[in-house]
């Protein structure tokens, strides 16, 4: 992710900031210019200005879950990221609001990245689906028979609110023996299924290449997952998959590999924007628009050692706890090519 500065005082600010710590102005993210706009914090309904246009906060700003801006004269009240929500949690429960905030932070970062690739959120053909999000607690599951399980179906990404609770997420991580379990990881994985439908299934050439590399997606999905959770999978997944879960079914292999590619690109993009890698150390200038996959991967290797070492010096777990087997590189490169081809043909 690029680094942002306050429009008023040029202080470096985080993507999630609602106010500037230096000049105390309100801050809002304007997604088209990808800039952090600032305005007087004295105003109760702040209006932001950029190049002759006026902007206001998304309606979800009132719950402190969104700092994105919309044009002041627009007909809708939600920003591009919040518009995609189908169900939000019951706001009368304080804990749910806190958990929802964590989910939105991760979701907004995801949407930022999808926009960098100019990926579609809305259906292009009558048979396809819009991308939408359901944030459900266990209670909602009981009320209307919807499953609160984190997952994806026909464009609808469901995230169980419990995932936003760090303690329960850590418990599940340990139970499933996963080296990495984060909210942003969930979002990246689940939208991977959506874009499989859009970029692979709807494209015969990509589908043939996919089956060649990841295996046949027509294999029984329910059975594959059941076996995975029963731990009946006896073969060694290391060497061929980015994670154990990826070995359960070609769709999961794709979603895990896709998510991993998004991790790599965001990490590299952030490092480049903060000047952590010089142009003698990497050929990549823009991680979201670079033709050679191996240049991206080769920049990630020393970068991950550096960031893991930084974390270890603070007694924190590794940021990037992965070793990428050779066979997985081909799959990551396939994700890279599919994204590049989409971006080149459709934009
Ligand atoms: Zn400022
Ligand atoms: Zn919003
Ligand atoms: Zn999945």
Q: In the chain, what percentage of residues exceed pLDDT 70? A: 95
pLDDT tens, position by position, 36-51 = 999 977 777 899 999 9
Could you tell me if 246 and 182 lie in one domain?
A: no
Clarify whether residues 263 and 321 are in a common domain: yes
Same structural domain, 332 and 230: yes
Residue 177 falls inside a structural domain: yes
CA of 20 to the centre of ligand 1 (A): 5
- Asked if pLDDT for residue 146 goes beyond 60, the answer is no
32 and 71 together in one domain: yes
- Please tell me whether residues 100 and 153 are part of one structural domain: yes
Q: Which of 51, 48, 10, 9 is nearest to 29 (CA)?
A: 48
Q: Strand, helix or coil at 137?
A: coil
Which ligand number lies closest to the CA of residue 5? 1
Mean pLDDT, residues 88-116: 94
Asked whether residue 143 carries a pLDDT value surpassing 70, the answer given is: no
* Ligand closest to the CA atom of residue 81: 2
Query: Residue 12 Cα, ligand 1 centroid: separation in angstroms?
Result: 8
Do 210 and 222 have their domain in common? yes
Closest listed ligand to the CA of 13? 1
Q: What confidence tier does 142 reach under pLDDT thresholds 50, 70, 90?
A: very low
74 in the same domain as 87: no
pLDDT in tens, 235-293: 577 788 998 899 999 999 999 999 999 999 999 999 999 999 887 789 999 999 999 99
pLDDT surpasses 90 at 32: yes
How far apart CA 261 and CA 206 sit, in angstroms, is: 17
How many Cα atoms sit within 13 Å of 141 on the Cβ side? Answer: 13
Number of domains in the chain: 3
In a domain, 195, yes or no: no
- What CA–CA distance (Å, rounded) separates 322 from 52? 47
222 and 237 share a domain?
yes
Q: What is the whole-number distance in angstroms between the Cα of residue 256 and the centre of ligand 3?
A: 7
Write down which residue in 78, 100, 123 finishes a domain.
78
Percentage of residues of the chain with pLDDT beyond 90? 68
Residues flanking ion ligand 3, Cβ below 5 Å: 252, 255
Lowest mean pLDDT among 77-91, 118-132, 245-259: 118-132
Say how many Å lie between the CA of residue 9 and the centre of ligand 1. Answer: 4
- Residues 6 or more apart whose Cβ sits within 8 Å of residue 255: 189, 190, 192, 193, 196, 246
Residues 318-343, mean pLDDT to the nearest whole number: 92
17 within a domain of the structure (yes/no)? yes
Ligand nearest to the CA of 246: 3
Which residue range(s) make up the domain with 25? 4-78
| 336 and 235 part of one domain | yes
Higher pLDDT, 78 or 95: 78
**Residue 276 in domain:** yes
- Coil/strand/helix, residue 38: strand
Question: Quick one: which ligand is closest to 254's CA?
Answer: 3
Nearest to 287 by CA among 328, 343, 233: 343
Task: Name the band, by pLDDT with cuts 50, 70 and 90, for residue 116.
Answer: very high
Q: Which of 188, 215, 249 is the last residue of a domain?
A: 188
Beta bridge partner(s), residue 87: 134
Task: Please tell me the least confidently modeled range out of 89-93, 171-175, 264-268.
Answer: 171-175
Confidence of residue 322 (pLDDT cuts 50, 70, 90): confident
Q: Which of 235-249, 297-311, 318-332 shows the lowest mean pLDDT across its residues?
A: 235-249
Q: Which ligand has the minimum distance to the alpha carbon of residue 36?
A: 1
Of 188, 216, 248, the residue at which a domain comes to its end is 188
Query: Are 207 and 125 in the same domain?
Result: no
> How far is the C-alpha of 209 from the C-alpha of 200, rounded, in Å?
9
Give residue 254 CA to ligand 3 midpoint distance, Å.
8
- What pLDDT sits at residue 160? 87
Q: How far apart are the CA of 235 and the centre of ligand 3, in A? A: 20
pLDDT value at position 102?
94
Nearest partner of 261 among 130, 163, 119, 153, judged by Cα: 119
Q: Report the half-sphere exposure of 240 (CA within 13 A, side-chain side).
A: 13
- Whether residues 105 and 235 share a domain: the answer is no
Clarify whether residues 122 and 245 are in a common domain. Answer: no
Whether 209 is in a domain gets the answer yes
Instruction: Select the more confidently predicted residue: 300 or 139.
Output: 300
Does residue 193 sit within a domain?
Answer: no
* Distance of CA 219 from the midpoint of ligand 3 (Å): 15
In a domain, 198, yes or no: no
For residue 95, being part of any structural domain is answered with yes
The DSSP 8-state label assigned to residue 217 in this structure reads T
Q: What is the pLDDT of residue 343?
A: 87
Ligand nearest to the CA of 12: 1
Higher pLDDT, 343 or 230: 343
Instruction: For residues 116-136, give the mean pLDDT.
Output: 88
- Chain mean pLDDT for the chain: 90
């Amino acid at each position: 992710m690029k680094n942002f500065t306050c429009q008023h005082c040029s202080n470096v600010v985080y993507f999630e900031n609602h106010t500037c710590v230096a000049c105390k102005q309100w801050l809002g993210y304007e997604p088209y210019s990808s800039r952090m706009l600032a305005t007087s914090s004295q105003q109760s309904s702040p209006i932001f200005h950029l190049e002759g246009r006026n902007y206001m906060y998304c309606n979800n700003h009132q719950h402190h879950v969104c700092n994105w801006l919309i044009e002041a004269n627009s007909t809708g009240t939600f920003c591009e990221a919040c518009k995609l929500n189908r169900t939000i949690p019951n706001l009368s429960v304080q804990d749910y609001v806190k958990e929802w905030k964590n989910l939105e932070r991760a979701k907004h970062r995801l949407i930022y990245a999808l926009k960098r690739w100019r990926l579609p959120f809305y259906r292009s053909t009558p048979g396809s689906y819009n991308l939408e999000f359901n944030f459900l607690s266990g209670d909602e599951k009981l009320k209307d028979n919807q499953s609160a399980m984190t997952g994806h179906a026909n464009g609808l990404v469901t995230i169980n609110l419990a995932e936003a609770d760090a303690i329960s997420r850590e418990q599940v991580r340990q139970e499933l023996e996963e080296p990495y379990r984060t909210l942003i990881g969930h979002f990246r994985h689940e939208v991977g299924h959506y874009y499989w439908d859009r970029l692979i299934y709807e494209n015969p050439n990509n589908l043939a290449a996919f089956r060649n590399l990841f295996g046949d997606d027509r294999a029984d999905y329910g059975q594959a997952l059941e076996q995975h959770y029963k731990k009946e999978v006896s073969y060694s997944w290391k060497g061929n998959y980015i994670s154990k879960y990826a070995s359960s079914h070609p769709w999961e292999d794709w979603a895990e590999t896709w998510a991993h590619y998004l991790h790599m690109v965001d990490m590299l993009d952030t490092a480049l924007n903060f000047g952590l890698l010089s142009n003698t150390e990497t050929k990549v200038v823009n991680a979201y628009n670079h033709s050679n996959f191996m240049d991206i991967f080769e920049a990630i290797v020393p970068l991950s050692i550096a960031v893991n070492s930084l974390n270890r010096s603070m007694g924190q777990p590794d940021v990037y706890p992965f070793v990428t087997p050779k066979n997985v590189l081909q799959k990551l490169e396939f994700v890279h090519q599919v994204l590049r081809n989409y971006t080149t043909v459709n934009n």
